[in-house]
Structures are given as C-alpha cells and as structure tokens.
Structure 1
C-alpha cells in the first residue's frame, strides 16, 4: 500500500472515531471538563492517573485554543508518548501546563452506612454499600513531578529509589470517584478456597449494578478476608455499568466442576461472562483470575530477569483425561451427554467447544480490562466477540503450556491492546472473524491497535486468523517485543474458511529466538529449548499460510476462498541465535486449487511489502504463491550452510530493491 492509500485509511479511521465520540459523548451538552471526564471513563483510564490525565487535558486545551479539531487518536497518542520513558524528558521542558492536582485523598468512608434491603439477601446485616466522596481540586499550577512507580511526588520514575527494590510493591489506588462499593466478603463470600461463592457474588453484582449509570457508579470488590485470599466461584454473569476489582494478592479461582459453568445457547459459559449487549464494564485490580483448567507443573520457569513464571503440564487433545482439571470435567460431561459414546470427530468438535475461557464478552461495548493477572484457563484467556470499543492494558498472562490458551482474542471493532505481558499457551494476541458461510454477512473484525507489549512463548506474536470468515481488516501492530515465541507475525487461514485479511501493518518490532530449539543465556539465566514441543506446525518469524490445519469442521465451507491482501511489514529485526534449529525466516503459502471437491481456484497472497528488515542467523525464506509484492531494504546475515537465503516457487511479479543478498 502506498503512502496516499495509507493516509486515506488513517483519515477514515480518524473520522470513524470522531463520529463515534459525537454519538457516545454528546459534546454539545457538556463543557470541556465534563467531555474529557466522560472520554476517560469510556477508555477505562484510572482516575488516579493524574499525570496521564493532565497530558490528555492539556492536549485538548491547546488544540481548542488554536481552533483545531480534537480527535481521540491524537489524545491517545499524547498519552502513549508520555507513558514511554522518553516522555519524562519532554515534561521537564514544558513550563506552563494546567495541572489536575490531587491532594492526599480524604475519602468519606461511611458517613452513612445503609443496609441493602432485599428479600433475596441471606445476609442483610452484612451486605453494605459504602458511599464515598472524592476530595479533588482543579486549579492552574506548574507541573509537579510524580513518580509512576511509587506514586510519590517530587521525582520521576527514573530517579525512584524503589525502582530496583524487588521487595517493594507499590500500592495502586483505583478510581477514587466510585459512588458505591460492595465488598463481597461483607455480603457473605469467604476467601477460604473451599466455599463456592457463585451465588453470593452474582447476587452482589446484580444489586450493585441495578441502578448504576456508568462503570464508575458501582464497584464490586473482591479482597482477602479473615478466611483467606482465594475466592472459589463458578461462572459469573457481569452486568452493564460496573467495575469488578480483584484486590492485590487476591485470587478469583474458577470451580473445577463442569456443573458450575452452565450452557448458554449451547455455549459453555466463561468464568467471567459478559453477554446480552453489555456496556461500560471495567475489570481491574492487581489480583489474579485462575481458571483451574489444567494441572500445574511441579516446577515453574524463570524469565529473563529471574522472575518465576507459571508453567503447566503439556496439554493436548490426547491428554485432557490425564492432565486436565476443569478441562477434564467438561469433556467428561460432554461425553456423558452423548450417552457415553462419541466418534473421534465428535470428540474433536467437543474439545473445541465445551471448555471454558477465563473472560468472554459477547456483543459488548465499552469494555476495559486492566492490571489483572490471568492464569490457567481450560480454553482461552480473554475473548472479545462481536463487540465494539474494547481495551486491554497492563495485564499479565501466564498460560504456558495450556492448549489453545490464546492470550487476548478479539473479534470486534475498535480494539486497543497495549502494555501487556503475555506468556501464552497459544497465540499471544489474535484477531478472528469466524468460519464458513454462517459468518459471511457478519461485520468484519476491524480497527485494531496493538502496541508496547512483551510477548513470550506463544504460538504467534500478533496473529490474524485462522478464523477469517467475515474478514479481518485495518490492524496495526507496532513497538512490540517477542522472545521464544513459536512464530512471529502470523496470518493464517484455509480456503474453506472464506473471507480473509486486509490492511495489516506489522512494524517497529524486535524478535529473538523465534521457533528455535537453541540453548540461550541471558543475564546469567539459561534457557534450554532443546526439548520444547511446538504445536503450530511452523516456526517462522513471518508467516502467511493458506494451508492451516482446519481443526473442528462443524461448519459449512465458504462459497469463495480466503484471500490475504495489503500486508505491510516494516522496521523489524529478527535474531534467531543460530541456524541449527527453527523454520524459514519467511514462509508464504497459498491455496493450490487442486482439491476438486472444493471447486476453488488457485489463490495467491497479493500486495505484500517487506521493508527495512534485518534478519540474523535464520534459515532461508520459503515463498510460494505470492504476487505483486515488494522486498525493499532487506539485510540477511548468516543463513547457515544453505546456498541462498531465498527459496522462491510459483511467484508472480516480485520486486527486490536493495536486498542483501539478492535471490538467485
């Protein structure tokens, strides 16, 4: 895609966001402060992040004073720039900025405590809603230094004396303008790790959200109590206009029994389930969501900094009855529903449909998930299905080596994923769009932005597919880091799936040891990958595959085959350590058209650009069925004992400009 086309695309996205803001915020009815406050609420920014809020407010003020149009994209860019390390230097040279100065909060904790009276409650004297009133002053002032690590004023994060102190754990305060807070322990829940709290927590959610008008009107708090810090529960159904906070050190643990996850329209409920057109929901806190899906290994792994990461026993379709916990219970229930007998194909389909994910939102709008730690799902991690305006930020996923445990999965419009750590059992971040004829008229999965994430050990870094039935379009992935993943950029589908992928930008990314089985030493820590078992079938830095494994075939094939168009890869480095292991540095495969039963023609990926790429110590690229594409400013160093780093077969109109070395 040329510069003009890209500019046109970005303008179209910008106009869409502007129209969305006008529709959602009704700016003509609010002054500037009210408009900004509602914008912050929509994207899920914690209200105590005063320095970030200040950057956004100043951006709005500056552009308004000059008569310029204020766009959501520009405001997010301003905040994003501040969150980067170099933004601290930028703050030091700006003198006259308005400041939202927050004094030490004097929270009105229970001026008046009122029992929630409801005939359903079994603990009326204990379940209390607590009204709080923030003490915040707005004034013009010189910018005041505030450390983003410890929260203290007077210094920046880079100068914080607690920065390298592993024992220090800063206490994060969540949105102090919540109107009503329900602590589930005061409503009768017990954090003993044994009591099933599903009914109590669900009743608390229903009551708290009953009259709420925004996510900041109502908060359900799950925090350690005198019984312990582990709250056992089955599926919980979230409601509109609410915040769910899991406090630091607290674990919300899923029940290991299938009966606690009912079928809803023949779909198994997730641990946290948002359906029926939900809107304005936040899931936050420094606690943990544990799906209890599979057995944990007897020994965890260590990351590059010496921190321990959860590791789960290798889980596959063939091992669910040996290493599964909730996964095993749900599979056994599926078999029992079939009178104890299933064909192998039915078992495969059941394995792909009866296991629970950690968090699923279905037809939901304005969703924010932040800061939570996610571990051990029976199936996927976070899923946004057929929704709009979803954000996932600052989360930590530890699901390796859980089968199918995608980190963050989106089949929605307007998805923002940033500043997450993802050590995944499947694709780290993946965009999907359904399979076959039944989804052909669904809205596309569109407008995704993935940036500033650290991806580790997953099957792919940022992935499109393999479900591409209603098209995946206009996705930007940038400024990410990947280490030990099985693949890097990954676009995958099959001819039968239909739809395809278009306008995917993958840029400004660093990747190391992609799909290798090397022995690596970093910071004195040894990573022996020699015995790792890869599951995706390919181990490549860049993948465009139309021959992905179909898996479940419980759907009707598309009328027209899938296509990949307008894929742009720019400013990416790859270092695979040595060429003894790993797959092709670039792998492109189309559809052969040889299956007469399908009746599809041969298909090529088209208009693919690789520009400003450096690849070190990786095996040769293997490219077929690629058409009208460009390779520019490519440097390849060390491709082993192979004659050339390029293997080209059945390609059309490929251009190579300043490529070292050139194809033969």
Structure 2
C-alpha cells in the first residue's frame, strides 16, 4: 500500500489481518475525528514494514492485536514488523500493543520516528490478567517525542475494557522490551498535558493482579540513553530484573524525585542515571 490517504473512516483506517509480507509506505492516516480510529492495525500478521507515513489519528497510530483469552491463544501471532521514518501526531499510542494479546505480539522494531502530541504513550503496551500471551522482543529506539498528552511509556496489565465474552486464560505479560536513544520533552505546557498533573507519570508500568497469586510482575526491560525534560515522575509497579542505564531527568514537575517504585519492583539495576536512585 503506497501513497494513499485514509481520511476519517467509520472505524479503523487500515487493518491488515492474517497476512504476511506487507508494506505500508507513504500513506496519510487522518482519522482524528473518528471514534476508535486507529490509523493502522496488524492482527495475526507477520513480516511487515511501515515507513514514511503521516499519522493524525483518533486512537492508536500503529496497533498490534493477537486474539483474546484461551481460544485466541491458538491463533496467529503478530510478529516481525519494522516501523521507521514516520511522523506521528496526536492519537492515543504511537506504537501500541493490545489489549488483545493472546497469541503474542513479538519481534517489533520501531526506530527513527518523530512523535508530537501523542496522548497515551509513544510505546503503549496494554493487556489484562486473563488475556494470555502479551508482547515480547521489542526494540524502540532513535526516536524524538515532544508535547506528550500523558505518559511517554505505558506497559500495563491493568487495562480497563468492557467484557467481550472471551474465555479467560493465564495472565498476559510483557518482557524483553528495550528503549534506547530516545528523547522525551513534556514541554511543560497545559496544551501538552503530561507535566500539568501528577496523574500522568512519564513511565507508567503496572503489572497488576495475577489470578490467585497476589501480584504479577513484568521483567526484562531495558531503558538505555533516554533523556527526559519537563515531565512527571515515574509510576513503576511490579517491574523486576530490568536495567536503567544512562537515563537522565533534566527537569521534573515540582522538582520531585522522578524514581517511584513499589515494593514488588525488585532485582532492577541502575547505572549512570541522573538523579541517582535512592
């Protein structure tokens, strides 16, 4: 698909389902006035490239889905997709996963993108404690993000959604996610949103409840050479065995300590971070 425009459709703009070897190049995804108007969605699809696109969407810009619950886990994963050289404006998540994750979303590379006024996460990964599957082996790098509406990074297993009748399975999870060489500027302006409310953490990680097992955890995350300006503190719950290297907070709302972890976040390492973790 090349050089066409999806302008204010009735629902998602472009959906690529149960396919393979797909390229979306030089499209305009202008779905901003559309309810649930994702720009581009992959479902059960492998081997894709997304390049040179303009996104101005009413929901997630590039989204991945992979089925729901026990029976969805028997379907096709969404995997092996390269997203690069795109301009992403407005919308909810820039690169988004879920909440349907049962058969896994995996091996995704997003790099050399620009995100402006994205509302709920440049990298937005969301699922539930009974969805199954999840997301793994993600590399999100070499990206500039500014004037974010809410968080820059969201990884949550506590996503709220209306019941859809799927048969519950094990908890979803997110693991082996690397964020490298990324700059985030909240712009400290009411028109941007992030830095005007404590309810909008710059990194929002919520492992959420596990069925009958207390609290689930997320693991294997790496944040490397990431710079934050004019942002809120983090909100990190249930993150284990992950690494923060070269992460710098130049300015945080009300000069607050940016590092906020709960008691379930253990085994994490911090090197060359500023300010240091206390």
Structure 1 length-normalised TM: 0.40
RMSD across aligned positions (CA): 1.3
Q: Is contact 2:8–2:33 with CA below 8 Å preserved after alignment?
A: no
1:592 to 189, 203, 209: 209
Q: 1:567 maps to which residue?
A: 177
Whether 2:164 is the aligned partner of 1:550: answer: no
Alignment pair present for 1:441 and 2:74 = yes
SS in 2 for 1:383: strand
Looking at secondary structure, tell me which structure has more strand per residue.
2
Please list, as runs of the form range in 1=range in 2, the aligned pairs for 1:204-353 lying within 5 A after superposition: none
Mark the CA change 1:381 to 1:610 in structure 2 (over 3 Å): closer, same or farther.
same
Give the corresponding residue for 2:123: 489
8 Å CA contact retained: 2:29, 2:54: yes
Quote the residue 2:258 is aligned against. 645
Hey, what's the Cα distance between the residues in 1 that align with 2:155 and 2:255? 22
Q: How far has the Cα of 1:581 moved from its partner? A: 4.3
Aligned to 1:430: 63
Contact 1:418 1:450 in 2 (8 A): yes
Aligned residue in 2 for 1:576: 186
Q: What CA distance in whole angstroms lies between the structure 2 residues aligned with 1:601 and 1:392?
A: 42
Whole-angstrom CA distance in 2 between matches of 1:546 and 1:555: 17
* More helix, by proportion: 1
Q: Matched residues in 2 for 1:488 and 1:647: separation?
A: 20
Conserved? CA contact 1:561–1:600, under 8 Å: no
Cross-structure match for 2:33: 401
Per-residue deviation, 1:599: 3.8
| Equivalent pairs, count | 268
Residue number among 447, 458, 461 corresponding to 2:94 in the alignment? 461
Out of 377, 388, 403, the residue aligned to residue 9 of structure 2 is 377
Aligned to 1:657: 271
Q: Which structure 1 segments of 5+ residues have no match?
A: 1-368, 516-538
User: Which consecutive unaligned segments of at least 5 residues does structure 2 have?
Assistant: 189-194
Aligned equivalent of 1:415: 48
1:652 is paired with a residue of what secondary structure? coil
SS at structure 1 position matched to 2:155? strand
**Structure 2 SS opposite 1:491:** strand
CA gap 1:552/1:405 in 2 versus in 1, 3 angstroms: farther
Q: How does 1:355-366 map to 2 (within 5 A)?
A: none
C-alpha distance in 2 between matches for 1:410 and 1:462: 11
Which has more radius of gyration? 1
Deviates more, 1:643-652 or 1:504-513: 643-652
Structure scoring higher RCO (CA < 8 A, sep ≥ 6) equals: 2
4+ long deviations beyond 6 Å: none
Rounded Cα–Cα distance in structure 1 between residues aligned with 2:117 and 2:64 = 21
**Partner deviation per Cα, 1:356-414 (whole Å, 9 max, x = no partner):** xxxxxxxxxxxxx1110111121111001111111111000111132110001002011
2:239 is the alignment partner of 1:622: no
Aligned residues of 1:439 and 1:470 also touching (Cα < 8 A): yes
Q: 2:246 aligns with which of 633, 641, 651?
A: 633
- C-alpha distance in structure 2 between counterparts of 1:600 and 1:493, whole Å: 17
